[in-house]
Structure 1
Protein backbone atom coordinates (compact mmCIF):
# COMPACT_ATOMS: atom_id res chain seq x y z
CA UNK A 1 0.00 0.00 0.00
CA UNK A 2 1.36 3.42 -0.85
CA UNK A 3 0.15 6.97 -0.39
CA UNK A 4 0.30 9.18 -3.48
CA UNK A 5 0.06 12.96 -3.40
CA UNK A 6 -0.61 14.56 -6.75
CA UNK A 7 -0.22 18.27 -7.49
CA UNK A 8 -1.27 19.86 -10.77
CA UNK A 9 -3.46 17.05 -12.06
CA UNK A 10 -6.66 18.58 -10.64
CA UNK A 11 -9.97 18.16 -12.41
CA UNK A 12 -12.88 20.52 -11.75
CA UNK A 13 -16.20 21.27 -13.39
CA UNK A 14 -14.98 24.45 -15.03
CA UNK A 15 -12.67 22.83 -17.55
CA UNK A 16 -12.89 25.81 -19.84
CA UNK A 17 -11.27 28.10 -17.31
CA UNK A 18 -8.51 25.59 -16.64
CA UNK A 19 -7.90 25.25 -20.38
CA UNK A 20 -7.09 28.95 -20.64
CA UNK A 21 -4.36 28.68 -17.99
CA UNK A 22 -0.94 27.19 -18.82
CA UNK A 23 -0.70 23.47 -18.10
CA UNK A 24 1.09 22.58 -14.88
CA UNK A 25 3.09 19.35 -15.01
CA UNK A 26 1.98 16.53 -12.76
CA UNK A 27 4.13 15.88 -9.67
CA UNK A 28 3.81 12.61 -7.77
CA UNK A 29 5.29 11.87 -4.32
CA UNK A 30 4.98 8.29 -3.12
CA UNK A 31 5.42 7.43 0.53
CA UNK A 32 5.66 3.69 1.15
CA UNK A 33 3.68 2.72 4.21
CA UNK A 34 3.57 -1.05 3.80
CA UNK A 35 5.08 -3.66 1.60
CA UNK A 36 3.47 -4.19 -1.77
CA UNK A 37 0.98 -7.03 -1.76
CA UNK A 38 0.35 -7.04 -5.47
CA UNK A 39 1.73 -9.84 -7.59
CA UNK A 40 3.13 -7.44 -10.19
CA UNK A 41 6.63 -8.41 -11.34
CA UNK A 42 9.28 -6.05 -10.00
CA UNK A 43 11.30 -4.17 -12.59
CA UNK A 44 14.28 -3.56 -10.27
CA UNK A 45 17.42 -5.44 -11.24
CA UNK A 46 18.81 -7.76 -8.56
CA UNK A 47 22.58 -7.72 -8.13
CA UNK A 48 24.21 -11.00 -9.14
CA UNK A 49 26.61 -10.84 -6.20
CA UNK A 50 23.72 -10.71 -3.73
CA UNK A 51 22.16 -13.71 -5.44
CA UNK A 52 25.45 -15.63 -5.21
CA UNK A 53 25.79 -14.63 -1.56
CA UNK A 54 22.27 -15.85 -0.83
CA UNK A 55 22.97 -19.21 -2.47
CA UNK A 56 26.26 -19.55 -0.62
CA UNK A 57 24.62 -18.85 2.75
CA UNK A 58 21.83 -21.35 2.00
CA UNK A 59 24.34 -24.06 1.03
CA UNK A 60 26.97 -23.64 3.76
CA UNK A 61 24.88 -21.99 6.46
CA UNK A 62 27.73 -19.61 7.34
CA UNK A 63 28.09 -16.03 6.17
CA UNK A 64 31.52 -15.48 4.57
CA UNK A 65 32.26 -11.94 5.68
CA UNK A 66 30.48 -11.70 9.02
CA UNK A 67 32.14 -11.75 12.41
CA UNK A 68 30.73 -13.40 15.51
CA UNK A 69 28.16 -10.73 16.37
CA UNK A 70 26.78 -10.69 12.82
CA UNK A 71 28.10 -7.33 11.66
CA UNK A 72 29.92 -6.64 8.41
CA UNK A 73 33.65 -6.12 8.66
CA UNK A 74 34.84 -2.65 7.71
CA UNK A 75 38.33 -1.26 7.44
CA UNK A 76 39.34 0.95 10.38
CA UNK A 77 42.11 3.55 9.98
CA UNK A 78 45.20 2.73 12.03
CA UNK A 79 46.27 6.38 12.27
CA UNK A 80 44.45 9.64 12.80
CA UNK A 81 42.89 10.98 9.62
CA UNK A 82 44.41 14.25 8.42
CA UNK A 83 42.28 17.37 8.19
CA UNK A 84 42.59 17.54 4.40
CA UNK A 85 41.51 13.91 3.98
CA UNK A 86 38.62 14.40 6.39
CA UNK A 87 37.35 17.44 4.48
CA UNK A 88 37.81 15.60 1.21
CA UNK A 89 35.77 12.70 2.52
CA UNK A 90 32.95 14.99 3.62
CA UNK A 91 32.76 17.80 1.09
CA UNK A 92 34.40 16.54 -2.11
CA UNK A 93 32.39 15.77 -5.22
CA UNK A 94 30.99 12.28 -5.70
CA UNK A 95 33.79 10.94 -7.89
CA UNK A 96 36.55 12.26 -5.57
CA UNK A 97 35.16 11.19 -2.22
CA UNK A 98 36.76 8.45 -0.16
CA UNK A 99 34.35 5.58 -0.67
CA UNK A 100 33.97 2.81 1.95
CA UNK A 101 35.46 -0.58 1.16
CA UNK A 102 32.66 -3.13 1.06
CA UNK A 103 34.54 -6.12 -0.42
CA UNK A 104 36.09 -7.33 2.86
CA UNK A 105 36.04 -11.10 3.34
CA UNK A 106 37.79 -13.69 5.49
CA UNK A 107 40.90 -15.48 4.29
CA UNK A 108 40.07 -19.17 3.71
CA UNK A 109 43.55 -20.20 4.93
CA UNK A 110 44.11 -18.23 8.15
CA UNK A 111 40.74 -16.57 8.75
CA UNK A 112 42.13 -13.03 8.85
CA UNK A 113 40.18 -10.17 7.28
CA UNK A 114 41.26 -9.18 3.78
CA UNK A 115 39.89 -7.64 0.60
CA UNK A 116 38.32 -10.02 -1.87
CA UNK A 117 40.51 -10.97 -4.86
CA UNK A 118 43.56 -9.60 -3.00
CA UNK A 119 46.42 -11.41 -1.33
CA UNK A 120 46.09 -11.96 2.41
CA UNK A 121 48.85 -9.94 4.06
CA UNK A 122 48.85 -12.15 7.15
CA UNK A 123 49.61 -15.24 5.07
CA UNK A 124 52.17 -13.26 3.08
CA UNK A 125 54.04 -12.22 6.25
CA UNK A 126 54.08 -15.78 7.59
CA UNK A 127 55.38 -17.17 4.29
CA UNK A 128 58.07 -14.48 4.09
CA UNK A 129 59.23 -15.18 7.65
CA UNK A 130 59.33 -18.93 7.00
CA UNK A 131 61.31 -18.55 3.75
CA UNK A 132 63.82 -16.17 5.35
CA UNK A 133 64.41 -18.58 8.23
CA UNK A 134 64.84 -21.45 5.75
CA UNK A 135 67.33 -19.49 3.63
CA UNK A 136 69.25 -18.43 6.73
CA UNK A 137 69.41 -22.07 7.84
CA UNK A 138 70.68 -23.24 4.43
CA UNK A 139 73.28 -20.46 4.31
CA UNK A 140 71.75 -18.50 1.45
CA UNK A 141 71.27 -15.49 3.73
CA UNK A 142 74.16 -14.51 5.98
CA UNK A 143 73.68 -11.94 8.70
CA UNK A 144 76.16 -9.10 8.55
CA UNK A 145 78.62 -9.22 11.45
CA UNK A 146 79.87 -5.98 12.94
CA UNK A 147 83.66 -5.99 12.34
CA UNK A 148 84.26 -3.92 15.47
CA UNK A 149 82.24 -6.10 17.82
CA UNK A 150 85.43 -7.64 19.28
CA UNK A 151 87.27 -4.32 19.49
CA UNK A 152 89.60 -3.72 22.44
CA UNK A 153 88.09 -1.22 24.95
CA UNK A 154 91.26 0.88 24.82
CA UNK A 155 91.13 1.00 21.03
CA UNK A 156 87.44 1.86 21.18
CA UNK A 157 88.21 4.91 23.33
CA UNK A 158 90.79 6.07 20.81
CA UNK A 159 88.62 5.32 17.78
CA UNK A 160 85.47 6.91 19.19
CA UNK A 161 86.62 9.74 21.47
CA UNK A 162 83.16 11.31 21.79
CA UNK A 163 81.41 8.05 22.63
CA UNK A 164 83.32 7.22 25.80
CA UNK A 165 84.05 9.73 28.58
CA UNK A 166 87.19 9.90 30.62
CA UNK A 167 87.07 9.80 34.40
CA UNK A 168 87.78 13.54 34.66
CA UNK A 169 84.97 14.37 32.22
CA UNK A 170 82.59 12.06 34.04
CA UNK A 171 83.36 13.76 37.37
CA UNK A 172 82.80 17.17 35.80
CA UNK A 173 79.44 16.03 34.42
CA UNK A 174 78.33 14.65 37.76
CA UNK A 175 79.32 17.96 39.45
CA UNK A 176 80.15 16.33 42.75
CA UNK A 177 82.59 19.15 43.52
CA UNK A 178 79.80 21.72 43.64
CA UNK A 179 78.58 22.26 47.23
CA UNK A 180 74.91 21.43 47.52
CA UNK A 181 72.50 22.94 49.97
CA UNK A 182 70.86 20.63 52.44
CA UNK A 183 67.21 19.97 51.93
CA UNK A 184 64.88 21.85 54.22
CA UNK A 185 62.97 19.93 56.84
CA UNK A 186 59.30 19.45 56.17
CA UNK A 187 57.11 21.79 58.21
CA UNK A 188 55.14 20.17 61.00
CA UNK A 189 52.72 22.31 62.95
CA UNK A 190 52.85 19.90 65.88
CA UNK A 191 56.50 20.71 66.50
CA UNK A 192 55.87 24.46 66.75
CA UNK A 193 55.99 25.76 70.32
CA UNK A 194 52.94 27.79 71.15
CA UNK A 195 53.53 30.36 73.92
CA UNK A 196 50.37 31.00 75.89
CA UNK A 197 49.76 34.59 77.01
CA UNK A 198 50.05 35.22 80.77
CA UNK A 199 46.67 36.01 82.29
CA UNK A 200 46.58 39.08 84.52
CA UNK A 201 45.66 38.47 88.18
CA UNK A 202 42.39 39.94 89.36
CA UNK A 203 42.61 42.57 92.10
CA UNK A 204 40.42 42.21 95.18
CA UNK A 205 38.85 45.46 96.39
CA UNK A 206 37.71 45.68 100.03
CA UNK A 207 34.62 47.77 100.59
CA UNK A 208 34.19 49.80 103.80
CA UNK A 209 31.21 49.14 106.04
CA UNK A 210 30.60 52.85 106.54
Structure 2
Protein backbone atom coordinates (compact mmCIF):
# COMPACT_ATOMS: atom_id res chain seq x y z
CA UNK A 1 0.00 0.00 0.00
CA UNK A 2 2.75 2.40 0.93
CA UNK A 3 4.70 1.47 -2.20
CA UNK A 4 1.80 2.32 -4.49
CA UNK A 5 1.24 5.67 -2.76
CA UNK A 6 4.89 6.67 -3.17
CA UNK A 7 4.81 5.78 -6.88
CA UNK A 8 1.66 7.83 -7.39
CA UNK A 9 3.16 10.79 -5.51
CA UNK A 10 6.31 10.69 -7.62
CA UNK A 11 4.28 10.52 -10.84
CA UNK A 12 2.10 13.43 -9.75
CA UNK A 13 5.18 15.50 -8.96
CA UNK A 14 6.74 14.69 -12.36
CA UNK A 15 3.56 15.61 -14.21
CA UNK A 16 3.31 18.98 -12.49
CA UNK A 17 6.90 19.83 -13.40
CA UNK A 18 6.35 19.21 -17.16
CA UNK A 19 5.56 22.39 -19.10
CA UNK A 20 2.05 22.55 -20.48
CA UNK A 21 1.57 23.92 -23.96
CA UNK A 22 -1.54 25.97 -24.66
CA UNK A 23 -4.04 24.53 -27.10
CA UNK A 24 -3.96 26.40 -30.41
CA UNK A 25 -7.16 26.95 -32.38
CA UNK A 26 -7.27 28.77 -35.70
CA UNK A 27 -10.66 29.54 -37.20
CA UNK A 28 -10.61 30.36 -40.91
CA UNK A 29 -13.81 31.88 -42.27
CA UNK A 30 -15.29 30.08 -45.29
CA UNK A 31 -16.36 32.60 -47.98
CA UNK A 32 -18.28 29.87 -49.84
CA UNK A 33 -20.42 28.84 -46.87
CA UNK A 34 -24.16 29.42 -47.36
CA UNK A 35 -25.80 32.26 -45.51
CA UNK A 36 -27.59 31.86 -42.19
CA UNK A 37 -31.17 31.52 -43.40
CA UNK A 38 -30.69 28.75 -46.00
CA UNK A 39 -28.40 26.95 -43.54
CA UNK A 40 -31.13 26.85 -40.93
CA UNK A 41 -33.59 25.37 -43.42
CA UNK A 42 -30.99 22.79 -44.49
CA UNK A 43 -30.32 21.78 -40.90
CA UNK A 44 -34.05 21.30 -40.35
CA UNK A 45 -34.22 19.04 -43.42
CA UNK A 46 -31.15 17.16 -42.24
CA UNK A 47 -32.68 16.69 -38.84
CA UNK A 48 -35.76 15.19 -40.39
CA UNK A 49 -33.63 12.86 -42.51
CA UNK A 50 -31.56 11.90 -39.49
CA UNK A 51 -34.69 11.24 -37.50
CA UNK A 52 -36.11 9.11 -40.31
CA UNK A 53 -32.91 7.10 -40.57
CA UNK A 54 -32.79 6.63 -36.81
CA UNK A 55 -36.39 5.39 -36.81
CA UNK A 56 -35.60 3.02 -39.68
CA UNK A 57 -32.57 1.62 -37.84
CA UNK A 58 -34.53 1.25 -34.61
CA UNK A 59 -37.42 -0.50 -36.38
CA UNK A 60 -35.21 -2.90 -38.31
CA UNK A 61 -34.89 -5.75 -35.81
CA UNK A 62 -32.80 -8.23 -37.74
CA UNK A 63 -31.00 -5.77 -40.00
CA UNK A 64 -27.28 -6.54 -40.16
CA UNK A 65 -24.81 -3.70 -40.48
CA UNK A 66 -23.80 -2.98 -44.08
CA UNK A 67 -20.05 -3.13 -43.46
CA UNK A 68 -18.58 -4.83 -40.39
CA UNK A 69 -16.37 -2.44 -38.47
CA UNK A 70 -13.18 -4.53 -38.49
CA UNK A 71 -13.46 -5.56 -42.14
CA UNK A 72 -13.06 -2.12 -43.66
CA UNK A 73 -9.90 -1.35 -41.71
CA UNK A 74 -8.28 -4.57 -42.90
CA UNK A 75 -9.19 -3.88 -46.51
CA UNK A 76 -7.76 -0.41 -46.41
CA UNK A 77 -4.44 -1.69 -45.11
CA UNK A 78 -4.22 -4.75 -47.37
CA UNK A 79 -1.94 -3.19 -49.97
CA UNK A 80 1.61 -4.08 -50.94
CA UNK A 81 4.10 -2.08 -48.96
CA UNK A 82 7.00 -2.34 -51.42
CA UNK A 83 7.49 -3.12 -55.09
CA UNK A 84 8.06 -6.80 -55.82
CA UNK A 85 11.58 -7.39 -57.08
CA UNK A 86 12.27 -8.64 -60.58
CA UNK A 87 13.75 -11.89 -59.27
CA UNK A 88 10.74 -12.71 -57.09
CA UNK A 89 8.28 -11.93 -59.88
CA UNK A 90 10.17 -14.11 -62.38
CA UNK A 91 10.41 -16.87 -59.80
CA UNK A 92 6.65 -16.74 -59.23
CA UNK A 93 5.70 -16.61 -62.93
CA UNK A 94 8.34 -18.91 -64.40
CA UNK A 95 8.81 -21.61 -61.80
CA UNK A 96 10.25 -24.94 -62.86
CA UNK A 97 6.91 -26.74 -62.55
CA UNK A 98 5.17 -24.13 -64.74
CA UNK A 99 7.53 -24.48 -67.70
CA UNK A 100 7.27 -26.98 -70.55
CA UNK A 101 8.08 -30.49 -69.47
CA UNK A 102 10.04 -32.98 -71.53
CA UNK A 103 8.03 -35.74 -73.19
CA UNK A 104 9.59 -39.12 -72.50
CA UNK A 105 6.65 -41.19 -73.75
CA UNK A 106 7.20 -40.88 -77.51
CA UNK A 107 6.92 -43.81 -79.92
CA UNK A 108 6.71 -44.35 -83.67
CA UNK A 109 3.36 -45.07 -85.31
CA UNK A 110 3.35 -48.71 -86.51
CA UNK A 111 1.38 -47.91 -89.68
CA UNK A 112 2.94 -44.69 -91.01
CA UNK A 113 6.17 -44.29 -88.99
CA UNK A 114 5.53 -40.76 -87.72
CA UNK A 115 6.46 -39.92 -84.13
CA UNK A 116 3.49 -39.91 -81.73
CA UNK A 117 2.78 -40.09 -78.01
CA UNK A 118 2.39 -43.56 -76.62
CA UNK A 119 -1.16 -44.77 -75.92
CA UNK A 120 -2.61 -42.12 -78.28
CA UNK A 121 -3.67 -42.02 -81.93
CA UNK A 122 -1.23 -40.82 -84.56
CA UNK A 123 -2.43 -37.42 -85.80
CA UNK A 124 -1.09 -38.08 -89.30
CA UNK A 125 -3.20 -41.24 -89.59
CA UNK A 126 -6.24 -39.44 -88.15
CA UNK A 127 -5.96 -36.71 -90.81
CA UNK A 128 -5.70 -39.33 -93.56
CA UNK A 129 -8.83 -41.09 -92.28
CA UNK A 130 -10.68 -37.75 -92.12
CA UNK A 131 -9.77 -36.94 -95.72
CA UNK A 132 -10.95 -40.39 -96.87
CA UNK A 133 -14.25 -39.93 -95.05
CA UNK A 134 -14.70 -36.46 -96.59
CA UNK A 135 -14.20 -37.76 -100.12
CA UNK A 136 -16.62 -40.65 -99.49
CA UNK A 137 -19.21 -38.22 -98.08
CA UNK A 138 -18.91 -36.00 -101.16
CA UNK A 139 -19.35 -38.97 -103.49
CA UNK A 140 -22.32 -40.31 -101.56
CA UNK A 141 -24.14 -36.97 -101.55
CA UNK A 142 -27.28 -37.21 -103.62
CA UNK A 143 -28.51 -34.42 -105.78
CA UNK A 144 -31.80 -32.94 -104.62
CA UNK A 145 -34.90 -34.36 -106.25
CA UNK A 146 -35.95 -32.22 -109.18
CA UNK A 147 -39.50 -32.29 -110.46
CA UNK A 148 -40.02 -32.47 -114.19
CA UNK A 149 -42.58 -29.78 -114.91
CA UNK A 150 -43.76 -27.84 -117.89
CA UNK A 151 -42.12 -24.43 -118.23
CA UNK A 152 -45.46 -22.72 -117.54
CA UNK A 153 -46.06 -24.75 -114.37
CA UNK A 154 -42.49 -24.18 -113.25
CA UNK A 155 -42.90 -20.39 -113.58
CA UNK A 156 -46.09 -20.57 -111.50
CA UNK A 157 -44.69 -22.79 -108.74
CA UNK A 158 -41.14 -21.36 -108.67
CA UNK A 159 -41.46 -17.78 -109.83
CA UNK A 160 -37.81 -17.03 -109.04
CA UNK A 161 -36.16 -13.66 -109.05
CA UNK A 162 -36.49 -11.36 -112.01
CA UNK A 163 -33.42 -9.27 -112.63
CA UNK A 164 -33.77 -5.65 -113.61
CA UNK A 165 -31.76 -4.38 -116.58
CA UNK A 166 -29.39 -2.60 -114.17
CA UNK A 167 -28.73 -5.86 -112.26
CA UNK A 168 -28.06 -7.67 -115.55
CA UNK A 169 -25.56 -4.97 -116.48
CA UNK A 170 -23.85 -5.18 -113.07
CA UNK A 171 -23.57 -8.98 -113.27
CA UNK A 172 -21.45 -8.66 -116.39
CA UNK A 173 -18.33 -7.41 -114.59
CA UNK A 174 -15.98 -7.87 -117.52
CA UNK A 175 -17.55 -4.91 -119.30
CA UNK A 176 -17.40 -2.30 -116.55
CA UNK A 177 -14.78 -3.50 -114.03
CA UNK A 178 -11.24 -2.50 -114.96
CA UNK A 179 -8.59 -4.90 -113.80
CA UNK A 180 -4.87 -4.37 -113.63
CA UNK A 181 -3.05 -5.98 -116.50
CA UNK A 182 -0.93 -8.94 -115.63
CA UNK A 183 2.80 -8.49 -115.89
CA UNK A 184 4.79 -10.38 -118.46
CA UNK A 185 6.51 -13.49 -117.25
CA UNK A 186 10.27 -13.31 -117.21
CA UNK A 187 12.08 -16.22 -118.80
CA UNK A 188 15.42 -16.63 -117.11
CA UNK A 189 16.96 -18.34 -120.11
CA UNK A 190 16.16 -15.43 -122.44
CA UNK A 191 17.38 -12.74 -120.03
CA UNK A 192 20.90 -14.20 -119.81
The bucket for the TM-score relative to the shorter chain is under 0.3
Instruction: Name the structure where strand makes up a greater proportion of residues.
Output: 1
Q: TM-score, normalised by structure 2?
A: 0.27
State the structure with bigger RCO (CA 8 A, min sep 6), 1 or 2.
Answer: 1
Q: Write 1 or 2 for the structure with the bigger share of helix.
A: 2
